[in-house]
Structure 1
Amino acid sequence: MALCCAISNEVPEHPVISPASGAIFERRLIEKYLSENGVDPINGKELSADMLIDVKTTPVVKPKPPSATSIPAILKTLQDEWDAVMLHSFTQRQQLQTARQELSHALYQHDAACRVIARLTKEVTAAREALATLKPQAGITANPAGIPQPAIAVEAGGIANQPTEQAGMSAEVIQKLQDKATVLTQERKKRGRTVPEDLISHDSIRTFHTLASHPGLHSASIPGILSLDIHGADTSKILTGGNDRNATVFNKDTEQVVAILKGHTKKVTRVIYHPDEDLVITASPDTTIRVWNVPTSQTTQMLRAHEGAVTGLSLHPTGDYVLSTSTDQHWAFSDIRSGRLLTKVADQGSSGSALTTAQFHPDGLIFGTGTSDSQVKIWDLKEQSNVANFPGHSGPITAISFSENGYYLATAADDACVKLWDLRKLKNFKTLQMDEGYEIRDLCFDQSGTYLAVAGTDVRVYLCKQWQELKVFNDHTAMATGVRFGRHAQYIASTSMDRTLKLYGL
């Protein structure tokens, strides 16, 4: 330090002592340093100019060394000083470079450690979610809803596959199906002659407009809502299945997410909201069907009826059984209460084609399936046999829907048209031809069978019997994937690959 006399061989002209460090400084230099920094330059302690102590010394004239008596000697002394300064500068630079390398290495190690911690945190979170999903099935926690729990073994590698042995269609099950069908047929005949008083008129549907758009139900990083359903009793509750592998229950009145159902390992392509209970059924290409208790957001049953991706899902009118179709060319009928597979039937006539969709007839004794080779097939559930075929489409069947009146079946495929079939005469009596390139992803009749909604390139509503187009909604910015009517068609809901749920009404 140039200020300190210890570094110099010369005695300063006006020496002072710092009480903080005890070092001797030249007054002019130390006062200048203190005015800028306010601390002792040796140890950094606080110091002011009035604290300095003057040193009383007799002036001493130091004789010059004998070697500095000539100009060559002085030049040599200066050369030596210069060499010393250069050597010191080189040493300083070398130390600076070493320090930089060590700092760079330390920062790299810190960054790598942060990445490892983030990855481990993510894995721990995923493991906890998986454990939370497994708990109800492994019997670890009590089931607050009192719903029967399946016995699923948990192995080191995850959930062991449930036995897929068929329990068979017992006489008791068949009688239950028959009794329900008899009641529903009688009710439908009574209802068929009158239209519900609260049903929205077709003139009102023409004036429907967008009431709300909700983009926050599913992940923005994996965009797209793939499926939609509405609770039968409480039509404020809407269920969606997304590309992000989650299903979401949303209350349209409070505009709040009620539950997020996490557990599938692939996207959720089909969803059903139980009409009478707070129960949800979801299907995915991960080959599983899950039954969820909405209040607890937990899986109560996992159905492993298929070996391929599950493509179709339909709840039986009893509310106790679910129909599923798959790319494994089979349809399956399972009990959602016990988790048992009752029967599984191969589509023998499909020549290796995958089944693409399924829906029960309103009475529940027959159902329809679509195939990837353009076939629409009607099956008898009790006999487990194919009783009718509806050819005519080209391209894979994308959606089918039975009307509540029990007579009409609407089907769509990758051929830009909707075909209407009369189940009494087993023939196609009307074809709604769309524009070329139009894609159809979903079909839905309202609960009275008065209106038909089509979702795809846009969302359209038709008046049945006249098959007249009432309204077209073009609000989605991507393909519409689902459409459903609220109670008495008071509102219409649609979902899309633009990750929004839109509501239309007066």
Structure 2
Amino acid sequence: MFCSISGEPPVDPVVSRLSGFLYERRLITKLIADGSKEPNTDFEITEDDLISVKMNPKIVKPRPPTVNSIPSLLSLLQNEYDSIMLETYQLKQQHHQLRQELSNALYENDAAKRVIARLAKERDLARENLAAVTAAGGVSSAPGPNGNDMEVDETPASAKDEAIAGVNPEIAAVLDETAAALVKTRKKRKAPAGTATAEEIQSYEQKTEIPSLHSTTHPGISCIDLLSLPPSSEKSEKSDWVLTGGNDGTIIISDWKNGGNEVVNIKAHGAKKVTSVAWVEQGEHAGSMFVSGSVDHTVKVWNVKEDGDGWAVGKASHVIKGHSGDVTDVAVHPSGLYGVSASLDASWAFLDLVKGVQVSKTTHPDGKEAYSSIAMHPDGLIIGTGTTDSIIRIWELKSAKNVATFTDSARQLAGRITSMSFSENGYYFATAAADSNVVKLWDLRKLENFHTIEVAGSSGYEGKKGVSKVSFDYGAGFLGVACADSISVFRNKSWDELIKFSPNGTSAVSDFKFGAHSKWIAAASERKVVVTGV
């Protein structure tokens, strides 16, 4: 018989009535005194659970020696040995228990990975099925009855990564014909009948508010555009539509004269911020097409179609993915067939909106100029770009040639160029920057800065002192400037400030647009769109 702890024949053997194991009494009682459980089991054991084993002949333990004798030292060594044996046994037990726990954890981890892989496969299959149903016309992109949108990562079959190599003769002919027609009419054109006078603008007052229907998780309206169509247009009922893009990736169309009712709500760019939106206002697609740019590096083209008694916007007709950085701004060509986009990847692109492709992509030679803003000239032959380091360039659209560069010698423009606007007279060009509260006016004939407007009395854009938006009205008689929470309207030529108002209290104005005949202004802020006018 051997002790289950020491593995040696016991001098005073005992048996556990709980497990039946044999022990040396002195070893098991020490273990019980330490409060440990019975070795080899998890039983709570006491000395009452030990049964003595009678042996014949009985071994009589010798009388304890004196402390200072050699037998005493041997006894001390024996006790030390017993303690070491007990500790070693406990360590072996703990080691075995840890190995079991580690094995269980590894099995659970493997099972979790298998579940995740299965769920990911089922998700991808569900997305493929949803895309197939949507392509077949079975699903509308409008929100459900509870107003919730389903966010889907979609890449339509029409999405193009490749770019057409440059402007071909057919496109060049369209650009030239459009410019020739516009130049001829612009030289004869006067301010449209019914255009607001300076006195009427000075009497601007708040007309209505359109509460933001964008997400409260990522609040804020980042961009706005208004659909301006002539009364003779067969789509003139859309001329009061307000197009807004939000930080939540959603695009909303509202009819402000009809109580701000929502016309369409689409989850346009997933959860990525929409940086710019622009209506197509001329040509066969006027009022039925718009363009959006986003920090997801894409430009998307959308079509508005009648849906029973209302309107609907389906899946993006084109997703143009030529940029490798955030798309910061988009603009539409006067023909309504083409557009341009600016990006932080140090490039701007010429786009075919009907085919959904890049016609050309222009990158600055040093590759360091990240573009923060872009604007289309009224004639459609040149564009302006603004960079994150306050440089303004004028480009010929057909050749993508940089024909002029504006730098502020007075260094009043600082930070990224937030906004640019060409006057409808074709000569004047206004620019603004994020870190300065001035607006620079440039003469495109002389290629020089002929006037500087300082916007006083505000803390500025994005918590700074900069201007967020500049915009000439269609009649070229007024210039609007948004700085911090206020909008100022200046008279052309004299550049006198006619009115300054805060459309949304202390909330910063992120974007604004003049309405028809300059009779009203729609301003976007964090929580709502406010319409102010006569």
**Is the structural similarity TM-score above 0.5?**
yes
Deviations 1:443-463, CA, capped at 9 Å, x for gaps: 111111111111231111111
Find the residue that maps to 2:182 and give its secondary structure: helix
**C-alpha distance in 1, partners of 2:139/2:228?**
24
Whether 1:195 and 2:191 are equivalent positions in the alignment is yes
- Which residue, out of 274, 280, 296, partners 1:268? 274
**C-alpha distance in 1, partners of 2:183/2:422?**
14
- Which residue, out of 359, 365, 374, partners 2:381? 365
Name the CA shift for 1:280/1:133 in 2 (closer, same or farther; >3 Å): farther
Query: Contact conserved, 2:251 with 2:268, CA < 8 A, in 1?
Result: no
Aligned position for 1:186: 184
Deviations 1:405-463, CA, capped at 9 Å, x for gaps: 00000000121110000000000001011237432111111111111111231111111
Aligned position for 2:431: 411
> Can you give the 5+ residue segments of structure 1 that lack an aligned partner in the other structure?
1-119, 145-155
Matches within 5 A, 1:38-53: none
**C-alpha distance in 2, partners of 1:245/1:181?**
34
Aligned letter for 1:251?
Answer: D
Find the residue that maps to 1:257 and give its secondary structure: strand
**C-alpha distance in 1, partners of 2:264/2:402?**
39
Aligned letter for 1:336?
Answer: L
Name the CA shift for 1:300/1:131 in 2 (closer, same or farther; >3 Å): farther
Query: Contact conserved, 2:372 with 2:417, CA < 8 A, in 1?
Result: yes
**C-alpha distance in 2, partners of 1:205/1:164?**
47
Matches within 5 A, 1:4-403: 139-141=135-137, 162-191=160-189, 194-233=190-229, 234-254=238-258, 255-265=260-270, 266-275=272-281, 276-295=286-305, 296-298=312-314, 299-348=316-365, 352-392=368-408, 393-403=413-423
Aligned position for 1:430: 451
Aligned letter for 1:286?
Answer: D
Find the residue that maps to 1:480 and give its secondary structure: coil
Deviations 1:289-347, CA, capped at 9 Å, x for gaps: 11112233221111112111001101000101110010111110111111121111102
Query: Contact conserved, 1:416 with 1:434, CA < 8 A, in 2?
Result: yes
Deviates further, 456-465 or 157-166: 157-166
Aligned position for 1:62: none
Whether 1:493 and 2:522 are equivalent positions in the alignment is yes
Name the CA shift for 1:132/1:484 in 2 (closer, same or farther; >3 Å): farther
**C-alpha distance in 2, partners of 1:403/1:232?**
16
Deviations 1:113-149, CA, capped at 9 Å, x for gaps: xxxxxxx9xx98xx77x9767866xx533999xxxxx
**C-alpha distance in 1, partners of 2:214/2:129?**
22
Name the CA shift for 1:131/1:260 in 2 (closer, same or farther; >3 Å): farther
**C-alpha distance in 1, partners of 2:219/2:294?**
16
Query: Contact conserved, 1:331 with 1:347, CA < 8 A, in 2?
Result: no
Find the residue that maps to 2:179 and give its secondary structure: helix
**C-alpha distance in 2, partners of 1:288/1:348?**
23
Whether 1:483 and 2:512 are equivalent positions in the alignment is yes
Q: Count residues with an aligned counterpart.
A: 368
Find the residue that maps to 2:200 and give its secondary structure: helix
**C-alpha distance in 1, partners of 2:517/2:497?**
19
Aligned position for 1:449: 476
Query: Contact conserved, 2:443 with 2:450, CA < 8 A, in 1?
Result: yes
Find the residue that maps to 1:348 and give its secondary structure: coil
Query: Contact conserved, 2:489 with 2:499, CA < 8 A, in 1?
Result: yes
Aligned position for 1:463: 491
**C-alpha distance in 1, partners of 2:274/2:132?**
18
Name the CA shift for 1:198/1:133 in 2 (closer, same or farther; >3 Å): farther
Name the CA shift for 1:286/1:204 in 2 (closer, same or farther; >3 Å): same
**C-alpha distance in 2, partners of 1:471/1:187?**
31
**C-alpha distance in 2, partners of 1:134/1:314?**
32
Q: CA RMSD in A?
A: 2.7
Find the residue that maps to 2:171 and give its secondary structure: helix
* Percent identical residues: 36
Query: Contact conserved, 2:222 with 2:276, CA < 8 A, in 1?
Result: yes
Find the residue that maps to 1:406 and give its secondary structure: coil
